[in-house]
Chains A and B, each alone.
Chain A
């Protein structure tokens, strides 16, 4: 049996220095499927985040498919002067993972971790959908 998405995200947090928050979102859901705030990240309104997040994904998807309607969004990286925000579609599912990290963290490490953990999340979410 695949571990839960929360358990997978907890391992992800442990493997990502500088991580602030991470969560799994799906279009049409007002709340994230799973959401974790790293220690020191403060308290976040998960409903507000979910709404904002889905707006971002919607505009990003429209941007890529405007040039070629066959294109699908795989990843969105936002570089701010004090942080990174990364959104990645979980392959084979309709879910997306979000991670925000401090700017002094390694973006490369975060991206590698999201891709590696994406496979585990995909298995867990597919199992969840089949139950």
Chain B
């Protein structure tokens, strides 16, 4: 069974300027796993509000006449870029936050590299 924490550590080590790598429950906003230099109450807050953003998107997108499934969300702030993707066929998303020394394209390339292993790990852990 994949060790999700070690996987997230690999993601963090592959990503210069990585501030946070986490896997989050879409419905509850609770972290399934997270690695970060920040204190846990800060990362838990970020992930909880991000899950709420996903919830708001589900109701907001139809008003924009956008009916498709969300594939990724990018938030760009003054000092940090937050990139997240739903994990297919699960009730989770995963999330990476980096400083601006790392380009968005590189973050997305690293997430593509680890996407299947993250998804497999979550499915193994959450299968009933």
Contact = CB atoms under 8 A, between A and B. Distances in A.
* Mutual binders A and B: yes
Interface of A: 20-21, 41-42, 44-45, 48-49, 51-53, 55-56, 59-60, 62-64, 66-68, 70-83, 85, 100, 103
Given A49-B64, A52-B59, A64 B77 contact: yes
Interface string B90-112: 00000001000000000000000
Interface of A is mostly: mixed
Given A66-B46, A77-B73, 13 more contacts: A44-B65, A63-B46, A66-B48, A67-B19, A71-B80, A77-B75, A78-B57, A79-B74, A80-B61, A80-B66, A81-B68, A85-B66, A103-B68
Interface of B: 19-20, 38, 42-43, 45-46, 48-50, 52-53, 56-57, 59-61, 63-80, 82, 97
21 contacts: A42-B65, A44-B64, A48-B63, A52-B59, A52-B64, A60-B53, A63-B50, A63-B82, A67-B43, A73-B75, A73-B77, A75-B75, A76-B73, A76-B74, A77-B74, A78-B61, A78-B73, A79-B72, A82-B67, A85-B64, A100-B66
